Amino acid sequence: MSGHEHSHGAPAAPTPDAGSSTGRLLFTLAFFGSLAGGILAYTYQKTLTPIRKFAGEKVEAAVKEVLGSPARLDTLFLVAGKLSRTLPPGQDVLEATKLFVGLDDKGQRIGVAVEEGSPGFSSEVRLMIGFNPATTALTGIKVLAQTETPGLGDKIDKDPTFAQRFVGKLVNPLKGDKNPTTDPSTVQTITGATITSKAVIKVINKAVGTWKPRLDAYEKEGGK
């Protein structure tokens, strides 16, 4: 007699219903996918307001910094290529393109501030730029965003003395030089970061060249 066991006549083990198993798997995946989507949507809605609030506060702080802490700020919106005190119904204030007007305690304008950007060496360089539209003299600049080369290009943000070089400079247009300068329309660039320095100068020239005519047109049409 063989030592091997034989199973002749033994009933076959039941085979799971493949279709039913797949259906349960799909249902489970769909359920948890829907649950995760709901959690993400809820989290997004809960964090949206704080994020927007933070973004608004960051911009306001930058505006005040480049304008020397004005007593009051007014906001003008760019609507169809023209400046306006009001936005069309339904348009998001935070998303709108704006010009900020800084006023002293007597209501006199001390300068305006605008946000502008341009490609640098490895990223977009975005600045808040304050200037006097009557003279084009800069009142200050603040880096809002950059991811330039650490130790070189990022000095536009990390080195506070760089921003100070621009205060009082005239944009007609602004130029850069690697050597120290007292020329009112030339600023000393950062050694080893010529491209990033030039990007900052380009952003400033672009901002003043774009926004001064808009403001002039607004005031010519009776805007105050």
pLDDT digit string, tens, across residues 161-215: 999 999 999 999 999 999 999 999 999 998 888 888 888 999 999 999 999 999 9
Q: Output the six-digit token pair for 91.
A: 């348009």
CB environment 79-96: b (16+ within 10 A), e (fewer): eeeebeeebeeeeeeeee
pLDDT digit string, tens, across residues 137-153: 999 999 898 777 676 76
Place of tokens 């400046």: 83
Q: How confident is the model at residue 31 (pLDDT cuts 50, 70, 90)?
A: low
Query: What is the arithmetic mean of pLDDT over 18-37?
Result: 58
Domain ranges of the chain: 50-88+95-220
- State the DSSP code for 137: B
- Report the predicted TM-score, pTM, of the whole model to 2 decimal places: 0.74
Question: Smallest Cα–Cα separation from 129: which of 202, 62, 58, 214?
Answer: 62
User: What are residue 79's DSSP bridge partners?
Assistant: 82
Question: Smallest Cα–Cα separation from 224: which of 58, 76, 110?
Answer: 76
